[in-house]
Amino acid sequence: MSESEKIIITVLGHDQVGIIAMVSTILAEHNINILDISQTILQGFFTMIMIADISGSQLDVGELKKILQEKADPMHLEITVQHEEIFKFMHRI
């Protein structure tokens, strides 16, 4: 799998029921495979980072971000979606 098929999804917001279910359901509906996931709750704030493979989906990153954000807005969550190489470039030391 090339890096251009991998995406990084980050989610931040107040902890509440259904965050992981909402994100994973949208990904499954669009044939996007979750490769790795890390989530934690820090003083009531939910944080999650996912690495996913978008190669089997008809969506591009922009379309996926729009769909996720539409579902996240009522939950007051902040979601980012970016290609893995962009994420790596922005977070290099």
Per-residue three-class SS string for the chain: CCHHHEEEEEEEEECCCCHHHHHHHHHHHCCCEEEEEEEEEECCEEEEEEEEECCCCCCCHHHHHHHHHHHHHHHCCEEEEEEHHHHHHHCCC
Average pLDDT over residues 16-40: 97
Mean pLDDT lowest among 4-8, 30-34, 38-42, 73-77: 4-8
The domain ranges of the chain are: 3-90
CATH number listed for the domain at residues 3-90: 3.30.70.260
pTM of the model: 0.85
